[in-house]
A and B are shown apart, each in its own frame.
Chain A
Amino acid sequence: MQKINCLQDEFLESLVNVDRVEAASLFEKCYSKYQRFDLLEKMVIKSLTEIGDNWEKGKASLAQVYISGIICEELIDKYLPDVKKADDTNPIIAIGVLEDHHALGKRIVHSILKVSGYKVIDLGYGLSPKIMVEKAIENKVEILLISTLMLESALEVKKVKEILNNRNQSMTVVVGGAPFRLDNKLWENVGADYFGRTASDITEIIEKVVLSNE
């Protein structure tokens, strides 16, 4: 099948420029021309992944990562409201902010996963280890994404793992956030299973977990 670019480069540029109007116009042009939702989805995922990777390399800002995420979420919601539902064969994924009250990282990851077709349960923020685990068990979570801002909160992941072990829960724990970015060994020290350096790492980790469970 002929590979269709569908204004990919222009769309990426509109996101980098935080041009909501241009991004919407390009989305409409692509849909009008090809009438294919999978192309829109591909355009979004590719752009967000590239922006996330660029942030990691110091070439994009956190603001660009976040705002492009919400622009894409808006566009996906507008064009794919009832056509593309989350795949029920995917693992049950939940995300929450441990102890902290800053939800930016959680929002970014949630956007990426949503536009990638994953349904994510939002456990909220300011969660103690006990409450986080209780909510995760209640929702039969298989992959628990934990976001933290402060070092003290990152260290609490140890308690999350302890409580999970005591409750004989085998859910996979993936951590992310500033403390883990600043100290490469921290995720292992707190007993997490994976560390998502960027939001786009998370989709790769989910695929890895699914494969290892098959």
Chain B
Amino acid sequence: MSKNKMSSLERVMTAISHKEPDKVPLFLLLSIYGAKEMSLSPKEYFSEADNIIETQIKVKKKYNNDLFYTFYYAGIEIEAFGGEVIFTNEGPPNTGRPIINKLSDIDNLKVPEIKSNPHLKKVLDTTKALEKEDGKNTPIIGVVMSPFSLPIMQMGFEKYLETIYFNKKEFNKLMQLNQEFCINWANEQLSAGATAICYFNPLASPNNIEKKTYLKTGYPIDKYVISKINGPVATHLASGITKPVIEQIIETNSLVLGISNRDNLEELKKIAKGRICLLGNLNAIEMTNWTLEKAKKEVRNVLDTTKEGGGLILSDNHGEIPWQVDQEILMKIAETVDKYGRYE
């Protein structure tokens, strides 16, 4: 790899400011993949903060990655609420039985205490350790689920959709609780040393809910919550298309948008230029079957269409590299960014 002229933090901040850094930043989001790197089962891996700390430091060097990613798995917020996750062998844990089975359960739901919660404390410990390790030079990205998307796991997708459309009172009650939790959780991570927060919000995508309904339900919540987060925010729609709602996401003052493999890069770049940094958009599911040549071609496509003027961070489109991706593919991605992602 060529010698870097900027630190990862400088590179990322320059790209987000819509200026051209030394090269396009690379965000390989290696959460579950860390267990593979450590040859541990997911359950063993996520049981100790030290595993994530050690792995994030290791993969930063190995792949020339430009971040420390303190995301464990989405279900950790459900665990914080008292729910369960089910660990598998080669993937992120699934959420188990919903914590809200009937609408009246919402009345009994309590907003979790952050610092005393053992699941969330692991994330905070990870953040603190990585900040101490290299916080001055490497952005530390924490993750929260948006209050609008979290109920997919709290209630199950079907019940939640029915609640949005047919039970407005209960929907509003649940949003109040989730907003409080999300703001607290994001700000605790920032206090622990996170540089920015990735706000996962798949339900905001028109793939999942039509824009008309999003504008009346999730959008006011997203605007409010993001305004209360005490640091920079990246909104990520977890492979959902973004273009129809990009103006709304810009209005939330998110600095970065995680885009879909199904978004048109050229069209998005025109809209986003100078306004919001694009993060993406490699297809991580297809990546499991890529050849090295295909990996290079896909990365070059993103770079060639989108890198001009800064405002691009190369990443996958879902927010997590699957276990099944070969490390040689990740090396190829890193090598291609290093070679073709440079700005003259």
Q: A103 an interface residue at 8 Å Cβ cutoff?
A: yes
- How far is it, in angstroms, between the C-alpha of A150 and the C-alpha of B85 when the chains are bound? 14
Q: B239 an interface residue at 8 Å Cβ cutoff?
A: yes
Given known pairs A101-B95, A101-B96, the reply for A20 and B285 (CB within 8 Å) is no
Given known pairs A62-B207, A104-B157, A179-B285, the reply for A151 and B91 (CB within 8 Å) is yes
A-B contact count (CB 8 A): 84
Question: Is the Cβ of B208 less than 8 Å from the Cβ of A102?
Answer: no
Q: Identify whether the interface residues of B are mostly helix, strand, loop, or mixed.
A: loop
Q: A45 an interface residue at 8 Å Cβ cutoff?
A: no
The smallest C-beta distance from A82 to any residue of chain B, in angstroms, reads 27
A67 CB contacts on chain B under 8 angstroms: 161-162, 165
Number of residues on chain B facing chain A (CB within 8 A): 36
A99 CB contacts on chain B under 8 angstroms: 88, 94
Q: In residues 29-70 of chain A, which contact B (Cβ within 8 Å)?
A: 55, 58, 60-64, 66-67, 70
A152 interface neighbour in B210, B262, B323, Cβ under 8 Å: B323
Query: Whose C-beta in chain B lies nearest to the C-beta of A150?
Result: B91
B166 CB contacts on chain A under 8 angstroms: 20
Question: Is the Cβ of B156 less than 8 Å from the Cβ of A63?
Answer: no
- How far is it, in angstroms, between the C-alpha of A58 and the C-alpha of B164 when the chains are bound? 21
Question: Is the Cβ of B209 less than 8 Å from the Cβ of A62?
Answer: yes
Query: Whose C-beta in chain B lies nearest to the C-beta of A184?
Result: B286
B residues with a Cβ closer than 8 A to A are 86, 88-92, 94-97, 156-158, 161-162, 164-166, 206-210, 213, 239, 241, 261-262, 283, 285-286, 288-289, 322-324
With A63-B213, A151-B324 known, 18 other A-B pairs at CB within 8 A are A20-B166, A58-B207, A58-B262, A66-B157, A67-B161, A67-B165, A103-B158, A150-B92, A151-B285, A151-B322, A152-B89, A152-B322, A153-B91, A179-B285, A182-B283, A182-B286, A185-B289, A186-B285
| Selected A-B contacts with CB under 8 Å, 9 pairs | A63-B161, A63-B164, A66-B158, A67-B165, A99-B94, A100-B94, A101-B95, A107-B158, A152-B91
